[in-house]
Amino acid sequence: MKNKEYCFWFAASVLAAILFSLSGLTLAFDSPYTVQDDARQHVFWLQRLNDPILFNNDLIADYFSSVVPNGYKFLYWLANIIGVEPFLFNKILPIFLGIATSIFTFLVTLEIFPVPFAGFVSSLLLNQNLWMLDDLVSGTPRAFFYVLFLGFIYFLLRRNLLFCSVFIALQGLFYPQVLLISSIILCLNLISQKQKRYFYIIGLIIAIAVVAIYKLQTADSHEVISLELAKQLPEFRLGGRNEFFLDNFWSFWLVGQRSGYLPREWQYVLLCSFGLLLPVIVKYSRIFPLTKEIKPKINIIKQVLIASLILFCLSHLLLFKLHLPSRYPQHTWSIVIDLVDGITIAIVIDKISQYKNNLLPLIMVMAIALGALLYPTYAVQSYPYRLGYVTGESPKLYQFLQQQPKDILIASLSSEADFIPSLAKRSVLVAEEYSIPYHWSYYQQMRQRAKDLIQAQYSSSQQEINRFIVKYKIDLWLVDKDAFDIQYLKNNFWLNQFQPETNNAINHLQENNKLLIQNKSDRCTIFQTEKLNLLDAKCISKN
């Protein structure tokens, strides 16, 4: 392997990762009120690092802080210590994760197939996948999957016990699901390998210890929802907040976002998977001489697929104790496909160079390199919605709420409630964004809050509304101005999960009943925008 060639393609891989990252950053910093969708769940409570008074006795903040692995908390704490506040760190973190992922993709490819150009193509394709979806850019625990898994694979292939053990520990500290895949890979190697079995045994011991520590920390926190109960809830059915049980057999098992085996962008992955031809090309090694460079270490590809399939099946059998089945094969499929694509493309271009003069393959290689420099901006900017960046539309409301006491609680059925904890740093009683139903001890409280709020907002009874305000200690009530339009309720998929309260509310509107909140809007509004009224709960409570 020529050193100059290695350095060139390694640098090109890192540069491509930087360009994709910068393209994504333009979306992240589009507005001061732009945040990543999933970061609204996993990052908002970290604002307590700078102000411990925020979100005190807040059910939502306490829940999301309790389910986040300790390594993730520590990293954000460390960033905050050096002056990078949580939401800013959340936006720049994907840059570093993307670069590190590219480096390990390049290195893993060369362990399997020592051709630097193949490493570049693999890292380029993986970057394209990562920056057209919302996993990496979320800056949440699952954003660490790729770098931690590829780092583990690289040091496993190198038989470097120290760094392999470090990555096993980091997996447990940041994203325990990936540690389960790594553990099965270690078991497969332990069974198949006759030499240096101590390597895999030590790795498994560390993995078991890390998982045990994580389970001990979370054992008493939350009860995972049972399969029987999940099947009864509309949240898990077609059109629900966390749609899982799909009627179509093939959709459920193959392409379901939470239940399926194939990657979310499965059409793109399969259509562009040149690597599917690799087994055929290898059989004709006389025609494709570069296949001789493929090392036996390529067996790691088969082990990754087997491990992810095992966990996919186990997670379906143990719903939802291993969380979502799709989390295991969907990420690994992206990695595997891009690795074998890079190898296949390099082999084919080498074959072309034998039939043509050296100019044609050189032109092809330079075209790919040039495309790597120009394509990132186009790819990311063409599909911004896939990255999940969302922008709050009521900056004046957020500014007003920031001037209110830090311990206030806001009741609202508006979609603006999704933004208030992140952008206004104030607590909300319930909101769709935080209504995650996988832990019943948490979600049954959220569900009851939503049902009580719907019943109170569309009630004509002063006594009933007063009971609601006292029960939950409500300070402010945020209402959409079109909240008393029947279509507002009929078209709201989230609210229609809560029955019979939503249907009762629709019936009240159809009967033209005098709703108390509606009648008190003018007198009790303390702040308003074109679409929203913010009401004082004390004013609402007065007869």
> What residue spans define the domains of the chain?
3-222+261-389, 392-541
Q: Residue 500 has what pLDDT?
A: 95
Mean pLDDT in residue range 308-334: 93
**pLDDT at residue 482 greater than cutoff 60:** yes
Please, are residues 179 and 171 in contact by the beta-carbon 8 Å criterion?
A: yes
Q: What pLDDT is stored for residue 265 in this prediction? A: 64
The CATH architecture one would assign to domain 392-541 is 3-Layer(aba) Sandwich (3.40)
| Residue 477: DSSP 8-state | E
Q: Print the SS3 string covering 459-475.
A: CCCHHHHHHHHHHHCCC
Overall average pLDDT of the 417-422 stretch: 97
Q: At what angle do helices 161-174 and 197-218 cross, to 10 degrees?
A: 20
pLDDT at 374 over 60: no
- pLDDT computed for residue 361 by the predictor: 59
Q: How many CB atoms lie within 10 A of CB 226?
A: 13
Output the pTM of the full model.
0.92
What is the spatial distance between Cα 16 and Cα 455, in angstroms, rounded to a whole number? 53
pLDDT at 417 over 70: yes
Q: Greater confidence, 433 or 289?
A: 433
- Confidence at 360, pLDDT banded by 50, 70, 90: low
**Phi-psi domain of 479 (left: phi exceeds 0; alpha: psi -120 through 50; beta: other):** beta
Instruction: Tell me the β-bridge partners of 391.
Output: 34
| Whether the predicted pLDDT of 531 surpasses 80 | yes
Calculate mean pLDDT across residues 132-145: 91
Region of poorest pLDDT, from 12-21, 92-101, 525-534? 12-21
Which pLDDT value is given to residue 283? 87
Q: Is 70 exceeded by the pLDDT of residue 381?
A: no
Is 385 in contact with 449 (CB distance < 8 Å)? no
CB-based contacts of 300-303 (< 8 A; 24+ apart in sequence): 300/112, 300/153, 300/156, 300/157, 300/185, 301/112, 301/336, 301/339, 301/340, 303/185, 303/188, 303/189
pLDDT at 133 over 90: no
**E strands of 231-316, at which residues?**
none
Nearest to 39 by CA among 87, 95, 88, 92: 87
